[in-house]
Chain A
Amino acid sequence: MTGPTPGPATPVRREPGEPGKSREPEVTAPQGLLDEDRPAETARPGPEHSGHTAPAREDRPWIGASVGRREDPRLLSGNGQFTDDIDLPGMLHAQFVRSTVAHARITALDLTAVRQVPGVVAAFDAQDLSLADITARLGRPLTEFVPTGMPVLAREKVRYAGEPLAIVVARDAYAAEDGVEAARVGYDSLPPVVSEEQALAPDAPLVHDEASANTLLDVSMFATEGIDGTFDEAPCVVHVETRTGRQNALPLETRGVVAGWDHREEQLVLRTSTQVPHQVRTTAARCLGLDERAVRVVVPDMGGGFGQKCVVGREEIAAGAAAIRLGRPVKWIEDRKDALTAAFLAREQHYDVRAAFDAEGHILGLDAAVVCDMGAYSCYPFTAGIEPLMASAEMPGVYKVPAYRVRARAVTTNKAPTAPYRGVSRPQYVMVMERLFERAARELKLEPTEIRRRNLITQFPYTGVNNVTYDPGSYLESLNLCESVLKEEGWYAAKETAAAQGRHLGIGYSCFSERTGYGSAAFAQRKMEVVPGFDISEVRMDTSGALVVTTGTMSHGQSHETTLAQIAADELGLDIGKVRIHQGDTDRITYGWGTFASRSVAIGGSAVRLAAGKLGEKLIAIAASVLEVPPDELELGPGLVRRPADGRTVSYEELADIAYLKSHLLPKDTEPGLTATASFDVLNDGTFSNATHGVVVELHEGTGQVEILRYVCVEDCGVAINPKVVEGQTRGGIAQGIAGALFEQVTYDEQGAPSAVSFMEYKVPTALEIPEVSIHHLETPCAFTETGAKGVGEGGTIGAPGAVLNAVNDALLPTGVELDDTPVTPQTVAAALEHTS
């Protein structure tokens, strides 16, 4: 491991003339980074990006500025340190013997030949390691939820092709794979359950004996009184049935771990690529029977996660156990074949939803049935309830739905298990809602945007039929702006012209809000037994006046080292170059919930601000004693405490000098040192970011190709801490949403063999498939996060499938064919277009 590189900072002002512009970073950036010839205008080009974001304020120069990322220099120069970059003395390499069948009793598992393969050091099966199962639970009765154990290594039975049976440890990764090939496994085949229909069939074989009807979760909720009457009497009832393809979140860095026993600390150190270091620690300790302090989880640089790494993986626990047994570090890096077939998947859902409307297009009721195919196991800590519970709790979305009924189920099948994936059910139910509105608009002969306008929530706070209270957003404004952009750009006219030429252009929208900053209250409502929510932040200023901020969030591409530093720098009036963010070490922070569900800036960022604020109070208290004035006459920054009345100042360095090196000068009752800790939780329903996506597509007759001609996103995530980062999250999210709508899918054959074993079959789109995206910002600050920020990590992914599908169906209007399943492939579109004439 190499030492840390000095962190350069690159503040970039959005407005060259803004206050605070003179504040250059105090650290010395490596030569070449702070180039003189950088244009005054930064990378927010074009009038379409001019946006509505409030300019940076004088007292908070960093928040709202597109500060250059602190992460970039090391990642751009090959100095990032990802899990597979770690090399420890004596380190061994692991791979797993995996089931080649989907459903079977294990009759034999013989590792004798494995252990004889040259280079193989050891091989362990479930019996050898005897580890406790990973079991995720909900606080619900057995009629609603059935907990099922996930063994770290399969015992007795295998439940999907790819399930780990044994760990092989060898001198290098090549020998480990030689070893895996030498394993002898005997199977007594059972009929595989490979679809929701099969799972729910009356005589279906059981994946887990304890889960009758292969149902892990079955909840019926809300059932507004009189809803059946509403549907009976409504002048317009529309129906959407949709099935969405099973996807892989597909971080480009696969999962991986380097496990080693630290004899001095008597501690297992798991260096692992995870979004949730503390949950991995808790689980590893339980599986291994260790005190939790005897496990330390350290997270290196992460090559993405998108949810696949926000659950605890069995392989990281097995590698830990092997490392303890062998007394040597063990590295496991998942290869791409395993990442595609055996890692956590997501998103395979079936919706059957009706909506009732009055003659003017006002929605009267929503009646939904949702079945999610969660695969072979419940993931920890979220459980197999994650997708159906998200869908049922939030489906009404941005619309004023007066009556609602939903039944949501999770079924278990002989497929790779699932984990939350960016957006969790929201890409699907938003798509369903947006399809319902489009369909009702057609029936009622309304403009698709007009019917939405009649139903969007405009008065806030709004408590919905789903018992969720929505904080203020710009639902209507974002739709209006998005529509006007497409109109002004001439796309409506272009569509008419194209139609006259026999071409197929379509325009589609999706309107949605995204709950971000789920606190413990929201998760408790889902009845999780492990209830995420709060986050803790500790700030520590050293004798040089530099600040280290430790948080429980876990950046894996989201730029926390920059955005959280912006928050701390503003709070203390520090140059951002003086702030260092530290994450991903369970020994350095009491507990944390990591990064998922767009929570980090909303919750983690609030904790950072609170902790920095506490430290600020201490700095003022010491300064008050030095200057012999009351604290309320003093204020912070830049880099000092100041008394406005007479202009006297004390620098942070001087205060730190007293706090650490001359503590005898500290005021009475003031503890030495400059540290502060704060936690933050959201005790209401959370805060909702919102957006409207507008898409123009052309369908090509003869190939069925869907070409995206224009993509406009109007988003509102409250205060954007760093607009460039917000745009990056949005664009990347949209790319993943388009991927789900048009390209990516894992299917299983009758035997339960997955279709995608390589990138030849799993079609991650490239730069030629993903269009440019224009982003417009609106800003409705959140009233209860400390910075006014809402989360932004998932919105792009949530909005894209609905907008794309609506645009495709708009183009298909003359054919009378409607496509509601994803991915929409060229073959499907070509078949639909055959109905043209």
Chain B
Amino acid sequence: MTDDVSTPEHPVRQQQLISLHVNGEAHELLTEPRRTLVDVLRHDLRLTGTHVGCEHGICGACTVLLDGAPVRACLMFAAQAEGSEIRTVESLADGGGLGDLQRAFSEHHGLQCGFCTPGFLMLAEGFLAERPEASKEEIREVVASNLCRCTGYQTIVEAIDDCAARRRAALRARVEGTAHQDENTSETVPPRAACEEVPCGSTTRSR
């Protein structure tokens, strides 16, 4: 018996010029159309924070934000992402330090080997931007979108829930602080945390 894989005729490996907007930067690159978004991000743009775990859309290690919404970067060809704003884990840190969501993951021990972590971070970032008031059960349901082999998920759920709660508190504090400021017409600066931790669906999308 012969393992008779019929030789597929190899179509001409044509290259195409595409432009991508990633983390606020524009990139132009010449690439084969068959390259998936995650491969282009990782190997052409060298943004290796986004990982590849299954290449069939189930594990979620490659989750990035496309116009603010979490998507699987392994289930898209890079060419399909033209005209959209892409955000990867590399965009989460603000001012060189970790962002609030990242800090929450660390505080709750929501990562061990860290391979799935960028996917979970982008999943949560996109989700909380849309649903800042999400309940813990809703968060658990969204966390079920991705696979983690180390943590048992509990601490990931807790980290996202805690981050959401702090963002809500910061927003309240800022609203109250602003009211307070109006009364006193003083130059009170809102707490630094509040500035950083405002849930910002629209800002997030346009960043």
Would A336 and B113 count as touching, CB distance under 8 A?
Answer: no
Is A40 located at the chain interface by the 8 A CB criterion?
no
Which residues of A, 57-88, contact B by the 8 Å Cβ criterion? 68-69, 71-73, 75-82, 84-85, 87
Is the beta-carbon distance between B115 and A304 smaller than 8 angstroms? yes
Q: How far is the CB of B13 from chain A (nearest CB, A)?
A: 6
Which A residues touch B98, using CB under 8 A? 30, 32-33, 73, 76-77
Q: Which residues of B contact A38 (CB under 8 A)?
A: 107
Which residue from chain B places its CB closest to the CB of A333 in the assembled complex? Answer: B52
**At the interface, yes or no: A550 with Cβ under 8 Å from chain B?**
no
Most chain A Cβ neighbours within 10 Å, of B5, B108, B141: B5
| Beta-carbon contact of B103 and A33 below 8 Å | yes
15 contacts between A and B (CB under 8 A): A32-B96, A35-B103, A43-B107, A71-B114, A76-B92, A78-B49, A78-B90, A87-B43, A108-B2, A174-B34, A252-B116, A336-B53, A557-B113, A758-B58, A769-B144
Complex contacts, B147 vs chain A, CB 8 Å? 252, 759, 764, 766
Residue A187 lies at the interface, judged by CB distance under 8 Å to chain B:
yes
Interface size band for B: 35 or more
Q: Name A's interface SS.
A: loop
Residues of B within 8 A of A (CB): 1-5, 7-8, 10, 13, 32, 34-35, 39, 42-43, 46-56, 58-59, 61, 88-90, 92-99, 102-103, 105-109, 111-118, 121, 140-141, 143-158, 166, 193, 196
What B residues does A301 contact at CB under 8 A? Answer: 113-114
Q: How far is the CA of A710 from the CA of B160 in the complex (A)?
A: 22
Bound complex: CA of A698 vs CA of B161, how far in Å? 27
- Residues from chain B with Cβ under 8 Å of A84 in the complex: 42, 48, 51-52
Residues of A within 8 Å of B13, CB to CB, are: 118-119, 175
CB pair A251–B149 under 8 Å, yes or no, is yes
Determine the chain A residues whose CB is within 8 A of the CB of B89 once the complex forms: 76-78
A184 in contact (CB, < 8 A) = yes
> When chains A and B are docked, how far (Å) is the Cα of A189 from the Cα of B3?
11
Partner of A303, one of B1, B99, B113: B113
| A559, CB-defined interface residue at 8 Å | yes
Chain B CB within 8 A of A480 CB: no
A101 cross-chain contacts in B, Cβ below 8 A: 1, 3
Is B51 in contact with A767, judged by CB distance below 8 angstroms? Answer: no
Docked pose: A306 CA to B16 CA in angstroms:
41
Chain A residues 13-64 with CB under 8 Å of chain B are 30-33, 35-38, 42-43
Is A443 positioned at the interface, with any CB of B under 8 Å from its CB? no
Docked Cα-Cα span, A263 to B61, in Å, equals: 36
Main secondary structure of the interface of B (DSSP, over half): loop
The minimal Cβ–Cβ distance linking B15 to chain A, given in whole angstroms, is 12
**A68 close to B112 (CB less than 8 A):** no
Structural contact, B121 and A252, CB atoms closer than 8 A: no
Task: List A residues 708-729 near B (Cβ within 8 Å).
Answer: 724-725, 727-729
| 0 or 1 for each of A554-580: is its CB under 8 Å from B? (1 = yes) | 001111000000000000000000000
Closest A residue to B146 using CB positions = A766
Chain A residue contacts of B121, Cβ below 8 A: 76
Expressed in whole angstroms, the minimum distance between the Cβ of A171 and any Cβ of chain B is: 10
Report whether B43 and A731 are in contact in the complex, using a CB–CB cutoff of 8 Å. no
A692 located at the interface, meaning its Cβ lies under 8 Å from any Cβ of chain B in the complex: no
- A81: nearest chain-B partner, CB-CB: B48
* Whole-angstrom distance between the Cβ of A74 and the nearest chain B Cβ: 8
Is A182's beta carbon under 8 Å from chain B?
yes
Closest to A45 in B: B158
* A204 contacts B by Cβ under 8 Å: no
Residues of B within 8 A of A759 (CB): 54, 56, 58-59, 147
- Residue with the highest number of chain B CB atoms closer than 10 Å, among A35, A302, A796: A35
Give Cα A72–Cα B7 distance, bound, in whole angstroms.
Answer: 47
| Residue from the list B88, B94, B144, B149 in contact with A732, Cβ < 8 A | B149
Distance in angstroms from B147 CB to nearest chain A CB is 5
